[in-house]
Amino acid sequence: MDHAQLARASFIVIPLILLALLIIPGRRAVRLPLAIIAGVVVAFGLGAMMATGNFTYMISFSTMAMIYAILSLGLNSQWGLSGHVNFGVAGFFAVGAFTSALVTTTMPTGALAAYSQQAFGLGQPFLVGVLAAGIVSAIVGYLVSIPVLRLRTDFLAIATLGIAEIIRLIFQNERWLANGPQPLRGIPQPLGCLFDDPACSWLPAPVAAFLQPLGPRDYIFFYFLLVAIILAVIYVALERISRSPWGRVQRAVRDEENSAAMSGKPVTFFRIQSFVVGSFIMGVGGAIYAHYVVSIDYSHFNPLFATFIVWVMLMLGGSGNNKGAILGPFVVWAVWTGTQSVVDLMAPVLSLISPDLPSRSAYFRWMLVAILLAAIVLYRPEGIIRERKRVSDFMKRTGKD
């Protein structure tokens, strides 16, 4: 393993330790040392065995999967915890992404201003952007939830689908807000200077020397670390929440709305709270996505698609279970990216059927994900990992009337 690869591998030690903590059962005293050993061994093992290209590919794949995992956790805190059917994930995702972009970029000046417009550009640091994204998304969620959460589940599904569509229409048509139909570019990458030459001036010399062989193309390794930490924070917070008295109330509201109401709990208020928490998390996910892809436009937030794939991920992983909400995105994203190559391999065969077909082959993957969702709904609606404690038979309507 050369110096550069060693430096790359060092970035994935902490994410792997976090992963190990998630997987290894047992008491904390045993888990922590085990996890640290596993993290270090696997990280440097991977670094030693994998070629740089594959290594980078694996990490960028995992970064995207983790961004989806954040969305999936956000959705889980609405659906799994409280039973809200939010078919508008894409809307909150978009609000978060554009908010963070507007907060962290600076107003375009000079020649740039002629073809790039935005309402404001505050030039704030990354974390401020992420926080702002969560807050604005939570505010949107709050405003949405006031009229909508009193409604039946089916009306909520329709209403959220509509809200996501309208949010997308706004970002598509309002040039002044975030450059309208044109992409909003130049979203800063946090601590991008780590990989510049020379590196950030404040960096201690040994660290700078350690990172010296890495270039901007290796930035993904740092971002991977950053996303992993944010994901871990969200996961731990949600686990705490769902075990707290508040979480129990949420489940009670979900499963037996009437009896919770009868025991004197303000049901609507509780329902709004969990919806707002989920919106916040989705907003954070949007921010992290924006800083990852650096340039965003409305088409990234196609309501059906950005919403739909997150639902597939959560349903597959297991609704109501935060571990499942993280596992699902990895599986589905692997299927999604993996099938690209299958479809590419099929191209010669497809062109025999119709000359147009290879250029449309991307839609085979849509079809595949649609079939995957249908299969989950039909054959395993509880997902890979069941909700730990099934307070009631929520997924199935009981036969008794």
Partner 1 sequence: MGDSMPLLKVDSVSAGYGDSEILRGVSIEVGKSEIVSIIGPNGAGKSTLMKTIFGLLHPRQGSIHFGDTDISRHTPYQIVGLGMCYVPQVANVFTDLTVEENLEMGAFLLKGGNMEERKERIYELFPRLKERRRQRAGKMSGGERQMVAMGSALMLDPTLVMMDEPSAGLSPKMVEMIFERIAHINRDGGPAILIVEQNAQLSLQMAHRGYVLASGENRFEGTGQDLLNDPEVGRLYLGG
Partner 2 sequence: MSMEKSAVSEEDVSSDPSAPKPAARRGLALQNRSTFAGVLVLILVLFWVLGLLKGASAGDLLSMTIWGVMLGGIIALGAIGLTLVYGVLKFPNFAHGAFLTIGAYSAFAIMQMLPQGPALKPFSFGWEMIAAIILALPIVAVVALILDRVLFYPLRKRGASLVLFAMASLAGTFFLRSVIYLIWGSDFHFFYPGRPNPALHLPLGIRVQADQIFVFVLAIVLVGLVYLLLERSRMGKAMRATANNPDLAQVRGINTERVIAWTWVIGGALAAAGGVMYGLASQLRPEMGFFLLLPIFAAAIMGGVGSPIGALVGAIIIGIAQQLSASFLNPAYGPAVAFALMILVLVVQPQGLFGQSGK
Span near partner 2 by CB under 8 A; candidates 184-192, 215-223, 243-251, 389-397: 389-397
Fill in the DSSP letter of residue 298: G
Using the rule CB under 8 A, which residue among 158, 191, 237, 294 binds partner 2? 158
318 to 377, contacts with partner 2 by CB under 8 A? 356-357, 359-360, 363-364, 366-367, 369-371, 373-374, 377
Q: How far is the CB of 318 from partner 1 (least distance, A)?
A: 21
Q: How far is the CB of 127 from partner 2 (least distance, A)?
A: 33
Q: Which is nearer to partner 2, 48 or 370 (CB)?
A: 370
CA atoms within 13 A on the CB side of 177: 15
Q: Which DSSP helix (H) or strand (E) runs through 270?
A: helix 267-293
152 is a site residue for partner 1 (CB under 8 A) = no
Span near partner 1 by CB under 8 A; candidates 205-213, 241-249, 358-366, 392-400: 392-400
Q: How far is the CB of 378 from partner 2 (least distance, A)?
A: 6
Instruction: State the binding partner of 240 from partner 1, partner 2, none, CB within 5 to 8 A by kind.
Output: none
49 is a site residue for partner 2 (CB under 8 A) = no
147 is a site residue for partner 2 (CB under 8 A) = yes
Q: Say which residues have a Cβ less than 8 Å from residue 217's Cβ, sequence separation at least 6.
A: 56
Q: Which is nearer to partner 1, 173 or 392 (CB)?
A: 392
162 is a site residue for partner 2 (CB under 8 A) = yes
Is the separation of the CB atoms in 229 and 12 below 8 Å?
no
Instruction: State the binding partner of 159 from partner 1, partner 2, none, CB within 5 to 8 A by kind.
Output: partner 2
Q: How far apart are CA 246 and CA 105, in angstroms?
A: 37
Q: How far apart are CA 388 and CA 84, in angstroms?
A: 19
3-state SS of 88-108?
CHHHHHHHHHHHHHHHHCECC
398 is a site residue for partner 1 (CB under 8 A) = yes
Q: Which is nearer to partner 2, 54 or 259 (CB)?
A: 259
Q: Which is nearer to partner 2, 93 or 292 (CB)?
A: 93
Q: Which is nearer to partner 1, 240 or 390 (CB)?
A: 390
Looking at the DSSP bridge assignments, the partners of residue 106 are: 122
199 to 238, contacts with partner 2 by CB under 8 A? none
Q: How far is CA 57 from CA 52, 54, 195, 358, in A?
A: 9, 5, 18, 24
Q: How far apart are CA 186 and CA 34, in angstroms?
A: 41
Fill in the DSSP letter of residue 188: P
3-state SS of 13-82?
HHHHHHHHHHHCCCCHHHHHHHHHHHHHHHHHHHHHHCCHHHHHHHHHHHHHHHHHHHHHHHHHHHHHHH
CA atoms within 13 A on the CB side of 231: 32
Note the Cα 307 to chain centre separation in Å: 11
> For the chain, what is the radius of gyration of the CA atoms?
22
Using the rule CB under 8 A, which residue among 55, 68, 87, 171 binds partner 2? 87
Q: Which is nearer to partner 1, 154 or 393 (CB)?
A: 393
Q: Which is nearer to partner 1, 201 or 398 (CB)?
A: 398
Using the rule CB under 8 A, which residue among 27, 152, 389, 400 binds partner 1? 400
250 to 269, contacts with partner 2 by CB under 8 A? 257-258, 261, 267
Residues of 98-116 as b/e, b for ≥16 C-beta within 10 angstroms? bbbbbbbbeebeeeeeeeb
Phi first, then psi: what are they for 217, rounded to 5°? -65, -20
Q: How far apart are CA 24 and CA 34, in angstroms?
A: 8
Number of residues that bind partner 1 (CB under 8 A): 4
Using the rule CB under 8 A, which residue among 354, 389, 393, 397 binds partner 1? 393
397 is a site residue for partner 1 (CB under 8 A) = no
Residue ranges of E strands in 228-300: none
Span near partner 1 by CB under 8 A; candidates 126-134, 200-208, 294-302, 391-399: 391-399
Q: Which is nearer to partner 1, 352 or 393 (CB)?
A: 393
Residues that bind partner 1 (CB under 8 A): 393, 398-400
Residues that bind partner 2 (CB under 8 A): 85, 87, 147-148, 150-155, 157-159, 161-163, 165-166, 169, 172-173, 257-258, 261, 267, 304, 308, 311, 315, 356-357, 359-360, 363-364, 366-367, 369-371, 373-374, 377-378, 381, 394-397, 399, 401
